[in-house]
């Protein structure tokens, strides 16, 4: 049944000139029909270069908005309209404007997991895979990092030459994992390497053998000669790695590492979007787009 639906999707996407972009947290069956699967940074790059006239984003809302900002001439569809990233909504633009007044000589560095409104008050955007590089590259010595305190602390530890102010936002899924969770899995699998996303808390990240984005974690595990890994990010990555590397073992850091927003998009959703009966077309006022896209363009310029 899954294969039948996938064949229909592959046929239909060609006919309708649709490029399917899938974030790494999508299910195996959705990834299999995508033109490209990757982390937030790689998806931003693809948004600019995909030749198709329509892009179907299987991920969360800020990802579809990023695509629309970078390719305003294209139709951009968010496969599951309810799929949002709670972190993106944690701060209003007005709050950040107030904080900026307190720290006028700080550059605002915004995680890409933010709304378009919030991006209008940022100097540059970053993703988990590009944040260290970009914070090093910007000329400003002082950085106001929004909204993820955990990613902010990790970047701060890697860029000691700069001054950071952090706000207390973050990913509710990654931030609920405690050091005890790591100890419990490590005790059960003492030889496993620990690969973790920087959205996890500092006391968890400090035990890592590798810290990286969703694709970074997968690349590391695939290339490593080690045989066992504890995966400190959304549990879909555990499953993808199990499919990709049959000779290796992967253990979730916690059974609670589940992003319910990322789990919303199903294979039938993708099919229904291609039929035009599901999904939401992203519409953005040009004035907002022009203001918000600047920090994403800057990210691409500095991130390479």
Nearest distance in Å: CB 84, ligand 13P:
11
Token pair in block for residue 37: 């699967």
66-74, 91-99, 123-131, 268-276 -> range binding ligand 13P (CB under 6 A): 123-131
Which positions ≥6 away from 129 have C-beta within 8 Å? 39, 40, 41, 42, 212, 213, 215, 216
Binding residues vs ligand SF4 (CB under 6 A) = 60, 85-87, 113, 171, 173-174, 199, 234, 259, 261-262
73: left (phi over 0), alpha (psi -120 to 50) or beta: alpha
41 and 127 Cβ atoms separated by less than 8 Å: yes
The partner in contact with residue 90, picked from ligand 13P, ligand SF4, none with C-beta cut-offs of 5 to 8 angstroms by kind, is none
143 and 165 Cβ atoms separated by less than 8 Å: yes
The partner in contact with residue 86, picked from ligand SF4, ligand 13P, none with C-beta cut-offs of 5 to 8 angstroms by kind, is ligand SF4
- 65: contact with ligand 13P by CB under 6 A: no
Nearest distance in Å: CB 41, ligand 13P:
6
135 and 159 Cβ atoms separated by less than 8 Å: yes
Q: Which is nearer to ligand SF4, 42 or 171 (CB)?
A: 171
**Chain residues 208-227 in contact with ligand 13P, contact rule CB under 6 A:** 213-214
The partner in contact with residue 261, picked from ligand SF4, ligand 13P, none with C-beta cut-offs of 5 to 8 angstroms by kind, is ligand SF4
- 235: contact with ligand 13P by CB under 6 A: no
Among 114, 115, 127, 265, binds ligand 13P (CB under 6 A): 127
- 156: contact with ligand 13P by CB under 6 A: no
Residues of this chain that bind ligand 13P (CB under 6 A): 24, 39-40, 113, 127-129, 171, 197, 199, 213-214
């Amino acid at each position: 049944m899954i294969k039948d639906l996938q064949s229909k999707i592959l046929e239909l996407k060609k006919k309708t000139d649709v490029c399917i972009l899938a974030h790494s947290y999508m299910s195996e069956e959705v990834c299999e029909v995508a033109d490209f699967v990757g982390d937030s940074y790689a998806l931003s790059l693809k948004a600019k270069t995909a030749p198709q006239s329509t892009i179907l984003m299987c991920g969360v809302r800020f990802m579809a908005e990023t695509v629309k900002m970078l390719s305003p001439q294209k139709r951009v569809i968010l496969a599951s309209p309810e799929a949002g990233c709670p972190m993106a909504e944690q701060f209003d633009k007005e709050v950040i404007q107030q904080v900026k007044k307190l720290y006028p000589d700080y550059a605002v560095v915004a995680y890409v997991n933010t709304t378009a409104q919030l991006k209008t008050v940022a100097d540059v955007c970053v993703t988990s895979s590009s944040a260290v590089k970009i914070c090093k590259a910007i000329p400003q010595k002082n950085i106001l990092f929004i909204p993820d305190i955990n990613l902010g602390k990790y970047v701060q530890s890697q860029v000691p030459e700069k001054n950071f102010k952090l706000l207390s936002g973050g990913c509710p899924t990654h931030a609920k994992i405690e050091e005890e969770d790591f100890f419990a899995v490590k005790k059960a699998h003492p030889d496993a390497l620990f690969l973790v996303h920087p959205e996890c808390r500092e006391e968890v990240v400090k035990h890592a053998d590798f810290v990286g984005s969703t694709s970074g974690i997968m690349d590391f595990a695939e290339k490593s000669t080690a045989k066992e890994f504890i995966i400190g990010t959304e549990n879909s990555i555990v499953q993808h790695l199990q499919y990709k590397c049959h000779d290796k073992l992967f253990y979730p850091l916690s059974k609670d590492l589940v992003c319910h927003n990322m789990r919303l998009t199903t294979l039938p959703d993708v099919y229904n979007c291609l039929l035009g009966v599901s999904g939401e077309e992203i519409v953005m006022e040009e004035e907002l787009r022009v203001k918000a896209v600047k920090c994403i363009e800057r990210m691409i310029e500095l991130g390479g």
